[in-house]
Amino acid sequence: MQVQHIKGIRVVNIGPGEHYTSAEPEIIKTLLGSCVAVCLFDPVSNLIGMNHFLLANDKLQRSSLRDPRAGYYGVHAMELLINSLVKLGAKKSRLKAKVFGGANVLKTIDGDIPNHYDVGNLNVDFALAFLTRERIPIVSTDVRGNTGRIIYFDPGDFSVYRNDIESPDDAELLAQKPTLGRTKAAQAKLTKIEKLENWLNEVRDL
């Protein structure tokens, strides 16, 4: 987990296996390929949280919630995120979700691959099924496809802004210094994230 301060705005960047929850006016950011990030928020208590998991399940069952590797698996990552939000004061019955990631990045590199090797697709299926089973409403999704994503979760109005990554080279470049750009759909929503504009290439409010 890394913390940046960009023109007065605190940005918390989480990596694979991590989750972060907050009641503060700070942005949560992550970079996704085949991994999935679930953004949860309680609109009453104004609490937000995000996780980033690599695989849906620990098939070898070598991990538990107390294991340092637990967050790498969706089955644990979701529980860790929900529990952390509840400890901050959120109510599970009020939580809403936005789901991102799950790209089939191997298809871009090696062409078509068998469905059972499509980790991104399996991750998305798990996240959607888990949220449905737990009766947490899914407000929006931006999932699957063949390109990675960088996402920014804004606690001001619970918007999530997305930047597509076409290749590993793009990911490295964007991590260093993304270029400015806007979409018409996002224009009206950018006021609260104005100071982050020069870090976004293509933003879309979801």
- Per-residue pLDDT tens over the stretch 122-135: 999 999 999 999 99
Res. 166 pLDDT band, cuts 50 70 90: low
Task: Report domain extents, the chain.
Answer: 2-167
Task: Scan for tokens 């991990």, then name that residue.
Answer: 63
Dihedral sign of CA atoms 13, 19, 21, 151 in order: positive
Q: Whole-prediction pTM value? A: 0.77
- 116 vs 170: CA distance, rounded Å: 27
- Per-residue pLDDT tens over the stretch 104-123: 876 544 555 555 568 999 99
- 196 vs 125: CA distance, rounded Å: 32
Q: What are the tokens at 204?
A: 């879309």
Q: What is the CATH number of domain 2-167?
A: 3.30.1330.200
DSSP SS3 for 85: helix
